[in-house]
Structure formats: C-alpha cells, structure tokens
Structure 1
Amino acid sequence: MTKMRILQIVPSISLVYGGPSQMVLGLSKALANQGVDVTILTTDSNGDFGQPPLDVPLDKPVSQDGYQVRYFRCSPFRRYKFSLDLLRWLWQHAGEFDLAHIHALFSPVSTAAATVARKRNLPYILRPLGTLDPADLQKKRRLKQVYVGLWEGANLAGAAGIHFTSEQEAKISQRFGTNAPDIVIPLGVTPPEDVETLHGESLRQGGFCTNDIINGETKVPKPAPTDVLENVSTQSPILLFMSRIDPKKGLDLLIPALETLLAEGLGFQFILAGANPQDPEYERQIQQQIQASPLSSQTTITGFVEGEVKAALLQGADLFVLPSYYENFGIAVAEAMVAATPVVISDQVHICPEVKAVEAGWVCGCDVASLTQTLREALRDAGEQKRRGVNARDYALEHYSWDAIAQTMIEAYQTITDT
C-alpha cells in the first residue's frame, strides 16, 4: 500500500512560539510512527524582535523523529513570518502530496500557502488556532476584514475541512458564510517520563532555579535544571501559571485575585512561567506590576521554560491556573493534566467541559470575583487537589495521547483523499 504523503505547513516551529507550533511536531512524529510520509514546511523565524533566526539548513530536508522538516528564509519583517521561497517550493511540489494541513489563519505565509494549494488542486485542511473566535476577530478587526475579503474567505470555502480542537471552538467560530466540514480533533500531549512521581516531589526537592523576582527591566536568566528553587516554601501550595504572557490569558484577573487571597492570609507560592516574543512590552508591564505588588515576596518569574524545567514545574505544582478570555483548546492545560496537576481555568478555555465532566480541576467565570472564590476553594483542600489531579492524569492519558490522535487524524485525511 502506498504511503500517504502529507504536508504540514506552519509559520514557525521555534520553541519561543509555544504550544500551537509545538503541536505540529508532536502530530508529525505520531503520524510518522503510523506509517505516514510527513513533511513540515516552515520558516526559520525565531522571535519577532531582533532575535537571530533559527540556525538550520535552508530549503533542504532535515530528518527528525521519522519525518522531514524543510525550513525557508523568513522575510526581514519577521513578525509576519513570510517566505516567498516557501511558496515557490509549494507551487512546484504540490502535486507530489496527497493533502496539506495548514496551521494558522490570518498569517501571511499560511494564507498564501492555502491560496497556492487551492490553485494547484491540492486538498487542504485549515487549523485556525482560535483565530475564528469572535473575541479574537476583534483584534486588528479591519485588517482581518480585508484578509477575509481578499483571501481567507476563499481559502475557508475551498478547504476540505476545518480542524477545530474542541467542540466549543467549532460551535462559536465565525465561518464567513462558508460551509467546509468541521474536523474536531483535540491536541495531544506527551506524558513526562516520571509522570508517576509523587505529586510535588520533583519541584520541591530540586527541580530548577531562577531569580526570585525581576530586577527592574533586567531579563530573567534561563533556568538551570540542576539548581534548587530557593524561595518556594515546602509548606505552601504552589500555584503555577505557564503560558504565553499575553492580555488574552487573564493575568489582569489572576493578579488581583491572588492579591485578595494573600490579604486574607491564605498562604501560597506563585510561579509565573512564560514569555511573549511578539509583545515584550506587555511582558515587562506584568513583571513590573508584580514587582510593585504584595505578591512580589510570594512570586517567582521564570521566563520561558522547556524540557526538564517545564516538566519539573508541571509535576511539582499543586494547582495550574489559566483564566483566559478565550482559548480554542488550551494545550498547557492538557500538559498540566497529564502531569497529574489539577487545573483552575475559566469557562472560556474550551477544554473546560471535559475538566468539569471528570472533575480534573475547577472551572470559574471569567471575572475576578469568580476566579478568587474558585482559587480560595481549591487552595484550601489539599486532598481534593490530589483527587482531581489523578482524575486529570487518567483522562489526559486516555484522550490526549498522540497515538490515538494520530489515528483519528489519519482517518480524517483518508476520508478527504478518498473523495
């Protein structure tokens, strides 16, 4: 039987862009493990504000984990992650593939790639990454209206399917009058190797170290896995926020909620992990707000984390919190769940129905009062934290494993290519 040949097209797979980009790597590896021939087309973009590009071969196949990556030079305007060379390659080689899975809308290279695929009669699936959420569409609204009128409307209409990562995302997403079929498949997560470790042990007994708090505008150094997180109390619950530092993530709700709980005498340690390569100014504002707050003595800011450091944080925390205003899935939530850490999320994080159904954590309204009350309840009951953490892990291992998701995705691909 001939191998299915699939293109994954994404603006960047650099670690600095977080979950949406990294998901493509996890999916590609899982697809390759099940016999699919996968090629990722992407750019060498590695951040939007002066960071050097990825040090990778350009326009050459790079083999890893059973699939190939082809990097192309990003335009000088790195924030837009555009590559004319990538589009030329796609135009020339589109006929060699069965289907393209295109990740991101309203992104120049993804939009143009969908247009090329349509012109070259290559079936394609679009994954919007939450960009069709009515709340997200309000950002740069006029520019997006132009996009829809000139390109994205036709791309949506011509898609063989739209890949949503939750039923709620599919339900609320704007389609602009198009009717491409929905493909609802969640994202996958890779369990940490020591996921069975006693909850909290790895962090409390020496997971990593960072500065206690930011020093003015000095950038926080990269964490070192072999050091000890000196200022985390072994007696207080550890509350972890790990996501991109972005206005949509609800930090304007979380910070006042934590200040209220601290004023009430409720003990906890807060770890803020994440960065924002696309908006470093907002990241600095959050750092300065915490520095000027009573929370400063209870807070550790790590900056961007990955690998062993990330695993230690996820496994060591007592609660994971993400009160986003909108989140099409919440890959960080699933990562916390598979690490047996119960979650506190807003009802705008679209993984929330599953969290509620299996009691994998707590779900609150998207406002300060509701978040405060929910955190108050969660922080006061260590036994309930552990119970819900076990529920979270068991559900995530069953439903968010890459093997299961790859099989479902292959079935979706096969349905499209057969028709």
Structure 2
Amino acid sequence: MRILQIIPSISLVYGGPSQMVLGLSEALAQEGVEVTVLTTNSNGDVGQPPLDVPLDRPVEQNGYQVRYFPCSPFRRYKFSLDLLRWLAGHATEFDLAHIHALFSPVSTAAATVARSRHLPYLMRPLGTLDPADLRKKKRIKQIYAALLERPNLAGAAGIHFTSPQEAKISERFGTSTPDVVIPLGVKQPAMLPKGQSRKELGIPETQPLLLFMSRIDPKKGLNLLIPALERLLDEGANFHFVLAGGNPQDPAYENKIREQLQASPLRDRTTITGFVTGDSKTALLQDADLFVLPSYYENFGIAVAEAMCNGTPVVISDQVYIWEEIEQAEAGWVCTCDVDSLTKQLRDSLADASERQRRGTNAQEYALKNYSWKAIAQATIKAYQQILTSKSRLG
C-alpha cells in the first residue's frame, strides 16, 4: 500500500497537528505501509526563515519519506505551486492520499488535484469544521467553503475525525461523506529521573506543579485559568504554575499573556518556559502534578493524551472532546468553560495528593491502551483498506 500524507507544514512551531503526521507516518511504516509526506518548508510567521531542508527530493526518516517544497507564491499561507505540480504528476503512483487541514490553500488545492487524478483521499479537518472555529472569519469561510471545501468534502472517501464528539458537532456543508473516527497517537515515553525539571526550573518538591503545555492561543482558555489560579492563590493554595508554549502566528497574544502574568500576584509562582521539546518536555510532563487545559474547543487534545501517557492526571474542560473518556477512566477532572467550575476542579485536585496519584495511574493505563501508535496505525490501515476495497467494487 502506497500512501501520501499531505500537510501544509511539519515544523515544530505548529504544534501537535503537524507532529501527529510524523508519528502516524512512522507507525504506518512499521506496519509495512509505504508512506510519503508532502509538505512545505514553512517555519512560522513570514519574518522567520524557512526550514533548512532539502527541497523537492526525498528525505528518508524513520522508515518513510518526506518531500519538502518551497512556499511560493503565498508564503504566509504555506502555499506551494511546486508541491501541487509534483502531486499532479505523481498521483497515479499512490493508492490513497490522507490530507490534513481544511481552509488551508495547499491542502484545499491538493484535494482538488487528487480528485482530478482519480486518487481517493481522506480529509482530516483538524477541528476546522467545529462551529466555534467556523465563527472566526465567518463570511470568508462561508465563501471559501461554498466554492472549494464543499466539493472537496463531497469528493472525499471519508472525513477523519479524532473523537466521536468532533464528528458529532462538525459542519459538513450539506455533504454526506462517511465519517472515519480514529484517535491521535502518542509514543510511550522513557521514564526520566524524578524531579529533573523541578531542579532545572528551581521549583521546590513541596509545591504541586500545575502545567499548561500547549499553543498560547485564545481558544486554550488561559483567560479562565489565570483568574482561577489567582483565586486559589488568594485562598492560600500551595502550587507552582508552569506555562510552556508559544504562538509564532500570534506573538501579540503571547506577549499579552506574558505581561498579564508579570503583573499578576501569580508572578512569583509562575515559570514561563516557551516551547519545550525532547527530554525537557518529557521531564516536565512527568514531574507535573496536574496538566491543565480548559480549552473552549479542542477536537482531540494531543497534549492531554501526552500528559496521560506520562502518568499525569489532567484537568480539562468539557470542550476538549475526549472529556468523556477522561471522566469514564477517572483519569482526571472535568470542568465547564467558566472560572468558578475550573477553580473548583483545581481546588479539589490540589487537596488530595493520593487521588492525583490514583487518577494519574488510570490516565497512563488508558492512554497506553487506547492511544498507542501501533493501535492507531492498525485502525488507520483498516480504514484505508475499506476505502480501497470500496473503490475497487465501484470500478
């Protein structure tokens, strides 16, 4: 089976959605699938230099190939005519394309090219069909959808949602394309020496470590989390807050949050790390007593799954669409998107260290069973085979 994975960028600065493609590609390769990733060399905002990678030739990594193409003519939108020309010329060499992102010009155009070359394709919307996301730039998206994305969705072999809740609430623009629900995957982490990140950041063992690790974006609920933490601090709660993340596409918002924390009573109880990767990221996840993400909408929440995999209980909103799984597995605490509810769940979780440990153990067991890359790869291969079998029957 020869599969294309098409995504606007796989740079680390774009966070979980991009990195998921790399994890999936490696897992598929381990199951014997030939995978080629088509992407651009985009690396953040226009002011940032592009990725320093070979262009328009295969780069071998972890059992699969990546082909990078230059962003041109619209670098800001991660668009690449070269990528589309390559796809048009080589589409017949592949069995199926898995296209990641809607309302992104190169993904939109790639679906159109795939359809013109009779290459079946699966579309993963990355949460862009969520009504809350569609409200942003609503008029532009309505036009874009009517002209471009509706035909792309209608012509797709399936729409890849990462949770039943995402599938349930997503807009389809009147199309009847089948849903394919497959979660995202996480790697089983190596266990690092306990307290490594606390030592590096100067956080005492006596202070519970509350971790926010995600893109710093208005949808992530920091306008709920900061006031909730201020209330707890005023009540005399003992904790240290670590804010890990950034936003290369909206540095103004990131700076606003940094300034807010500097002016807050939380200032002496907060560490801002910026983006963390590799062992530093793993060490933070393993040392955290709680992982907090009170998002307004989150089609899956890969950072939540990563925290769980590392044995850290989570406090999330009921708009993180795996919240029901978290609740049923007793892997953390779930709040609504308001300060009072979040404050209560944080207060309850901070009050009982043994309960945090129990839920952290539950979280790890659930994540390793349900979000392992091997399980995700096998489910994805099954979906690909069903699509190809259906195509064969239709002739």
Q: 1:37 aligns with which of 34, 39, 44?
A: 34
Q: Per the alignment, in what secondary structure is the counterpart of residue 177 of structure 1?
A: coil
Please state if 1:161 is matched with 2:158: yes
Q: Secondary structure at the match of 1:148?
A: helix
Shift of 1:201: 3.1
C-alpha separation between the residues in 1 aligned to 2:96 and 2:339? 45
Partner of 1:328: 299
Is the CA contact 1:104–1:127 (under 8 Å) kept in the aligned structure 2?
yes
What are the Cα deviations for residues 211-248 of structure 1, in whole angstroms up to 9, with x where unaligned? xxxxxxxxxxxxxxxxx212x12111000000000000
- Given residue 403 of structure 1, which amino acid in structure 2 is its aligned partner? K
* Contact preservation (8 Å) 2:74, 2:80: no
Within 5 Å, give how 1:223-372 maps onto structure 2: 228-230=200-202, 232-372=203-343
> Aligned partner of 2:321: which letter?
H
Partner of 2:177: 180
The code of the aligned residue for 2:35 comes to V
- How far has the Cα of 1:149 moved from its partner? 1.3
Tell me, in whole angstroms, the C-alpha distance in 2 between the residues paired with 1:229 and 1:236: 13
Distance 2:73 2:87 in 1: 20
SS in 1 for 2:201: coil
Cα distance between partner residues in 1 of 2:59 and 2:309? 30
Residue 76 of structure 1: how far off its partner (Å): 5.6
- Kindly provide the amino acid, as one letter, of the partner of residue 36 in structure 1: V
In structure 2, distance between residues paired with 1:76 and 1:331? 32
Do residues 118 (structure 1) and 112 (structure 2) align? Answer: no
Q: Distance in 1 between matches of 2:283 and 2:308?
A: 14
Against the structure 1 CA distance between its residues 35 and 405, is the aligned structure 2 distance closer, same or farther, given a 3 Å change threshold? Answer: same
2:163/2:322 contact within 8 Å kept: yes
Number of the residue aligned with 1:21: 18
Gaps of 5+ in 2: 391-395
**8 Å contact kept, 1:185–1:405:** yes
Q: CA deviation at 1:79?
A: 2.8
Q: Does 1:69 align with 2:66?
A: yes
Gaps of 5+ in 1: 207-227
TM-score (norm 2): 0.97
CA contact (8 A) 2:73 2:80 kept: no
Query: Any idea what SS the aligned residue of 2:37 has?
Result: strand
- Asked if structure 2 preserves the Cα contact closer than 8 Å seen for 1:202 and 1:315, the reply is no
Identity among equivalent positions (%) equals 73
Q: Secondary structure at the match of 2:112?
A: helix
Query: SS in structure 2 opposite 1:7?
Result: strand
RMSD across aligned C-alpha pairs, in angstroms? 0.9
Q: TM-score, normalised by structure 1?
A: 0.92
Question: In the aligned structure 2, how far is the partner of 1:29 from the partner of 1:191?
Answer: 14
Report the number of matched residues.
390
